[in-house]
Amino acid sequence: MTIKCIAVDDEPLALDLVAKFIEQTSFLSLQSKFDNAIQALGYVNQHEVDLIFLDIQMPDLSGMELARILDGKTASKKPKIIFTTAYNQFAVEGYKVDALDYLLKPFSYEEFLKAATKAYQFFENQSKNTVTKAEPGKQLDYIFLKVEYQLVKVMLKDITHIEAYKDYVKVHLKDKPNPLLSLTSMKSMEELLASDNFMRVHRSFIINLDHIDSVSRNVIHIGHAQIVVSENYKDAFMEFLGKWIG
């Protein structure tokens, strides 16, 4: 699935950066870019656009005003919006117009990719819903990881554990001899893996609870890996273990 995007920002450097991020993301397709919201509105009225990366503070017509205009369109023709702005006071207002996400400048590619992945998951889920209605609150069963110069789709059920490694994380997969090395943080991985199946048990480890082979005292065994549960995460893990034993 490819998401058709436009970028709108009156700052040339910011506009070029968003365009660059879009072009290096495999599931996004940059259709055009605009330095004012009026031109962007004209384009949206004449072309099919799925997603707009939209600055808020712009002359003549602000990004928020454009979002309100687009909010009046029928659902099938209304593009989704990810706001890009230097002012965090607009966050609540942004969600009133059903924005998918909110990027606070200056943002990194990692932050951009998280927002873009949220958009991908939204559109894929929407596509599935045209065939069969999704269960309320059903979580998607995959994530995207930036590995070297490509995005890799990883099924959650295949992840055994995640290990911190300098500025990277190692994502260990079932039946794969070598982990995926991704330039991201453990905190970001916790957010991506917001699921009952995953638990952080150490500053340097997140585990998939479904892949635990055994537990001896404060050591978790997953395949050949032996992961120590640190004191800061012990209570939460012991609570899970009590339910597991029960």
Q: What is the pLDDT of residues 198-239, one digit of tens each?
A: 999 999 999 999 999 998 888 999 999 999 999 988 888 888
Do the domain assignments include residue 146?
A: no
Same domain as 100, residue 12: yes
- Tokens in use for 138? 């059903």
Amino acid in position 207 = I
Same domain as 176, residue 105: no
Model pLDDT, residue 133: 37
Contact 246, 236 (CB under 8 A): no
Same domain as 15, residue 65: yes
d(CA 193, CA 51): 24
Per the DSSP assignment, residues forming a β-bridge with 208 are 198
Do the domain assignments include residue 67?
A: yes
Instruction: Name the domain count of the chain.
Output: 2
Domain of residue 40: give its range: 3-129
Do the domain assignments include residue 107?
A: yes
Give the count of alpha carbons within 13 A of 212, CB side only.
Answer: 23
d(CA 211, CA 223): 8
Among the three residues 129, 162, 177, which one is the final residue of a domain in this structure?
A: 129
Same domain as 120, residue 10: yes
> Percentage of the chain with pLDDT > 90?
47
Same domain as 227, residue 123: no
Taking the chain (246 residues) in runs of 10, the rounded mean pLDDT of each run is 94 96 94 95 93 92 88 74 78 57 90 91 69 45 78 89 91 92 86 81 93 89 93 86 66
Same domain as 161, residue 103: no
CATH value at residue 190: 2.40.50.1020
Per the DSSP assignment, residues forming a β-bridge with 153 are 144
pTM of the model: 0.57
